[in-house]
Amino acid sequence: MATFFSLANGYLTGKYRSRADLTKSVRADRVEPYLEGRGPHVLAAMGVVAAEAGATPAQVALAWTAAQPAVTAPLASASSLAQMEELLGSLHLQLTPDQLARLDNASTEV
């Protein structure tokens, strides 16, 4: 299975952390639901894992998605060459079992 929203409309890049950040894009209406519930837990865990791995949150999100047994390819879009280069970095990122578990746990917290 391929995932079409591997970056949750940009939320998992860390671009949107509060309601004030919703003015950064026309995607605000699609991102707003992530600001509550599990979203902040996932973003916090991704920040820790990204720091440990020397990666960006977007790279961690794609590597985490790719590590899921049922996923054949995480799909993401880029609007610039710099973004594309960043996303390609996820291809070489190997998350540890502990990091994957922490991300999985964060995604189930409410």
Residue type, 70: A
% of the chain at pLDDT higher than 70: 96
Nearest residue to 13 via CA among 62, 79, 54, 53: 62
Instruction: In whole angstroms, give the CA distance from residue 61 to residue 10.
Output: 10
Mean pLDDT, residues 72-98 taken together: 92
Strand pairing report for 73-74 and 2-3: parallel
- Structurally, the chain folds into a number of domains equal to 1
Q: Tell me the pLDDT tens digit for each residue of 41-58.
A: 999 999 999 999 999 999
pLDDT in tens, 21-48: 888 877 778 888 888 889 999 999 999 9
User: Is the model's pTM score more than 0.85?
Assistant: yes
Give the domain range for residue 19: 2-108
- Count the neighbouring beta carbons within 10 Å of the beta carbon of residue 49: 25
Model pLDDT, residue 4: 66
Q: Which residue has the tokens 């189930």?
A: 108
> Is residue 106 within 8 Å of residue 78, measured between CB atoms?
no
Residue 1: pLDDT over 80: no
